[in-house]
Chains A and B, each alone.
Chain A
Amino acid sequence: MRRVRIGSGAGFADDRIEPAAELAEHGQLDYLVFECLAERTIALAQRERLRDPCAGFNPWLRERMDAVLGHCVRQGIKVITNMGAANPSAAAELVADAARRMGLTRLKIATVTGDDVLDLVAGSDLPLLDRPGTVGSLGDSIISANAYLGCEAIVRALAGGADIVITGRVADPSLYLAPLVHEFGWPLDAWHLLGKGVCAGHLLECAGQVTGGYFADPGFKDVPDLVRLGFPIAQVAEDGSFSITKVPGSGGRVTVRTCTEQLLYEVHDPAAYLSADAVADFSGARLTQIGHDEVEVTGVTGTRRPDALKVSVGYLDGFVGEGEISYAGPNAVARGRLALDLVRERLELIGVPTDDARFELIGVDAVHRGAAKSVDKTADKTVAEPPEVRARVAGRTLTLDQARRIGHEVSALWLNGPAGGAGAVGRTSDLVAIASVLLPRDQVRPEITFLEA
């Protein structure tokens, strides 16, 4: 039976670059896919593009292309990536330029656009999914709106002879499903096959997270040669059966345990994993170790895709001011608490609201929140006091000026706070938040543009 080998060259915007080069050179791949867009990445990229019309795509695009293009062209490996972010056309120009500089010619680069639906949804009465209100209620604060496209446009680009496909927002698994649909001619309503392809894509989309990255727990789950962590390869057969593996000799492991963690990652109901191309059912999945660093996945099925596409809407949501300062040695927790109380009262004195703010000790209750009360009970000597803590204040404000005051009051603890305050920092950020809406599929029209390098 025919098989297609797909490598995963990146699992997030700032992922390592060397494993992609290793995959391109030694992975015996047919396709190399880079998934680089988190929920908020496009909204942030859109702001960059507004400042500079040539910006707004992944900042590591050139380094990644320089690392893999030579191998890909020599071996006939096609590249698919959403590194176009908010500006796929500018990204395609950069890739063409990188190819020319390497002396590579006759390379066909396809750009997929049409995910940007800002004009379509801005001001509309589409309801927000995760909070009250409509898109219209966000008013002028809205900065981006991008639909999660399915695999269709990429499939058309591949059918048109593309060697490299650059997209903006596409549902993550669809980047990996597209080459399977193209190579095997799977119909776009073959739900079981598409469900299996979505599953393969889901296992690949976070790259090293399935090969031993984000996994090591020394003494419990050890990972060999994590330094040179290799990225995964899916070997998919025409009937949708597939296995996950990696380049022999690369670091990390592919085991039933690593694959189980990634299979269930960010899945809610395992029987209904929603994607743009199918609803995959992982509830009957079975993972089997069939070789060293090779796990076979069986029992996955699929049902009809959702009628609507998910759209991520980016909007400005006020400001955050933050400050941190450390205390160490005897009584560190008490001095840290005193520091937090001082900042709270001083912010109130100068009129900065503290009702939407966090006052916490990193090392005690910043992650656990209220759950670490026991450490503060100085009477209970059975609970060890941490040797050091870092006091943290973070607050949401309506203005930048108020946000600056938060870090300022924390820094002021240097000369105005408890004994031994150390390493104070303060910073501000304007918050770009994301809301989701659903848009009928037929209102989204992906477009493909070809460019020859």
Chain B
Amino acid sequence: MRLHQLAHARAGDKGNVSDISVIAYEPDDYEFLREQVTAERVREHFADIVRGPVDRYELPRLHALKFVLHDALAGGATRTLNLDVHGKALSSCLLEMELPEHPEHPERQESK
């Protein structure tokens, strides 16, 4: 199942750093996302794009995870050659991540 089934996302930028919020649609899915969507997996997912480390912050009250991707925008919005100068589309690219079937909600794959 894709991360897109369980979460929504928004990306922002500051200089050459991209930040992506991943927010569970259902609070009950937060723990599953916390286990699966690790900083390492996000770094691997963006292996062709992100040159620096990836930090992760946990926000259980908002059932959200925040990823901070360093050296991710080929110089930053004001000087990058990237078509997507701000890295805005990286939020959607992250939602392509494949996850194992959710143990508690196997039916959700069908329902959405």
Contacts and interface: CB of A to CB of B under 8 A. Distances in A.
A270 B12 CA distance: 14
A434 B49 contact: no
A182 B14 CA distance: 30
Interface string A257-280: 100111111111111000000000
B57 A270 contact: yes
Interface string B78-94: 11011110000100010
B8 to A, nearest CB: 6
A392 B62 contact: no
B17 interface: yes
Contacts of A431: 78-79
B73 to A, nearest CB: 11
A392 B81 CA distance: 11
A168 B11 CA distance: 26
Contacts of B68: 268-269
A364 B59 CA distance: 34
Interface in A272-319: 282-287, 299, 317
A265 B81 contact: no
Most buried by A among B17, B47, B66, B83: B83
A267 B19 contact: yes
Interface in B16-49: 16-17, 19, 21, 23, 25, 46-49
A369 B62 CA distance: 32
B49 to A, nearest CB: 5
Contacts of B66: 264, 267-268, 270
A287 B62 contact: yes
Nearest to A324: B83
Contacts of A94: none
Contacts of A368: 48-49, 93
B21 A265 contact: yes
A358 interface: yes
Nearest to A357: B81
A263 B61 CA distance: 13
Interface stretch (A19-27, A84-92, A134-142, A213-221): A213-221
A356 B83 CA distance: 14
Contacts of A130: 15-16, 76
Given A264-B21, A367-B83, A284 B61 contact: yes
A203 to B, nearest CB: 13
A350 interface: no
A261 B76 contact: no
Given A264-B66, A267-B19, A368-B93, A362 B83 contact: yes
Contacts of B17: 268
Contacts, number: 114
A98 interface: no
- Say which size band chain B's interface belongs to: 35 or more
Given A220-B4, A371-B93, A263 B10 contact: no
Contacts of B81: 320, 356-358, 394-396
- Say which size band chain A's interface belongs to: 35 or more
A376 B12 CA distance: 30
A366 B48 contact: no
A8 interface: no
A261 B23 contact: yes
B4 A369 contact: no
Given A257-B23, A368-B93, A39 B48 contact: no
Contacts of A219: 112
B13 A266 contact: yes
A369 B81 CA distance: 12
A248 interface: no
Interface string A412-450: 000000000000000000011110100000000000000
Contacts of A432: 78
A309 B84 CA distance: 29
Given A267-B66, A268-B17, A285-B61, A371 B49 contact: yes
A264 B64 contact: yes
B77 interface: yes
A282 B68 CA distance: 16
Interface string A35-49: 000011000000000
A396 B13 CA distance: 21
Contacts of B23: 257, 260-261, 264
Interface of B: 4, 8, 10, 12-17, 19, 21, 23, 25, 46-49, 55, 57, 59, 61-62, 64, 66, 68, 75-79, 81-84, 89, 93, 112
- What are the nearest 10 A-B pairs in CB distance? A370-B48, A266-B12, A264-B21, A433-B79, A261-B10, A366-B83, A130-B15, A434-B78, A394-B81, A358-B81
